[in-house]
Amino acid sequence: MVGYGPPIFYGRPGKDPEDWLRDIQRYIIASRINVAPGAGQAPGREEAFGLVVSCLAGDALNWYNTRIKGKNWRCNNLSDNLGVATLTAVRGLAAGNGGGQIGALNTAGEFQGKAAAEIGRIGAGIATGADIIPNGTWDEDWSIAGGEPVDNAPVAPNAGGGLPVVTIAPGIKLGQLLYLFRTAYTTVEHLKQTAVFGQLMQGNMSVEQFSARIKKVGKLAEMTPEQQREQFIRGLNPMNQYNIRMMAKFYDTQDNITKALAEAEKFTLSQKSAPSSLPIFPTANPYADTNRSGGGMTKNEIEDLIKTTIDSSQPQTAQQNTDLQSSIKSLQETMSQATKTLDNTT
């Protein structure tokens, strides 16, 4: 992309790789690198893979070198007895209960874990290979297949051994690399732990931002919706903790609580920015200086003013002295009146 360098990711503590992943995606698209699925775009995906790695530095580069570089991709929920040679071919398996179809393979026990659960959820006669093997590059979800990087040698999905032997594809592809950054990078693992131990707090986030964070981390940590809701309520700031009880929302769903608190936040912000239409009435101030006269000067201030006037009058002419004496007399009378006023109010 002319004029702009690629975004660098250092992966320092507290940094969420999601922001960088969005930036690198925009950069690759703007650079017209074709990473679409399919054999014809394989060179583009390889180019993008190299670009992503070249943008890593510091902790992020160390993590890549130790956790991903040179490894293969194991699918813990897929046996090596699926009858096809590659993961791409597994993705192409058709729905149905006939030979070589997803339903029949599931019945034969060739899937386990989340893969078997997903087939059961969709229906053995309806689910296809695309429901198990993701196809999207930017947002591939390899949790269903149980994907992870390993040092083990490749095992083709048609090796024929059957479970517990599982498929291990050669190398790490672009979509798998991006998936690992989203789900397994060091700072993401830390977020998972804080969620599991109930340490995620709202802090300065809006309630909508905090709810989205809880859902994201809860999914990564495989928390149930109810566990996410409990963590969400536990992590709210004190004001929102009070509000959900006053609104009788404590036992409501996370989404409904979020909507109610978000509306309260918006109202509060609008009141802070809107000009007040209420009249302002003076009130008694218990900290006010009761030594002040009705004109606003204290006795000490009046005495200082008289002294200053006397000092400045010394070098003046006799006529000026007469005028000054008159002024001084007037000030003394003012002080006397102020003193009487104070005496009457005490």
What pLDDT score does 190 carry?
76
Tell me which residue has tokens 């390899």. Answer: 142
> 82 CB contacts (<8 Å, ≥6 apart)?
90, 93, 105, 110, 157, 158, 167
H-type helices in 98-253, by residue range?
A: 102-107, 113-122, 174-184, 186-196, 207-220, 225-235, 238-246
Which residues of the chain, if any, have pLDDT below 70? 1-3, 195-197, 273-299, 301-303, 305-328, 330-332, 334-346
Residue 193 has a pLDDT of 76
Distances (CA, A) of 235 to 17, 122, 197, 214, 225: 22, 34, 11, 9, 15
pLDDT of residue 224: 85
* pLDDT value of position 281: 43
Per-residue confidence (pLDDT) for residue 276, from 0 to 100: 52
Q: Are 109 and 97 in contact (CB under 8 A)?
A: no
CB 72 within 8 A of CB 171: yes
Q: Is 248 helix (H, G, I), strand (E, B) or coil?
A: coil
Q: Give the predicted TM-score (pTM) of the model.
A: 0.64
pLDDT at site 125: 92
In the chain, domain spans: 17-66, 71-171, 224-268, 299-345
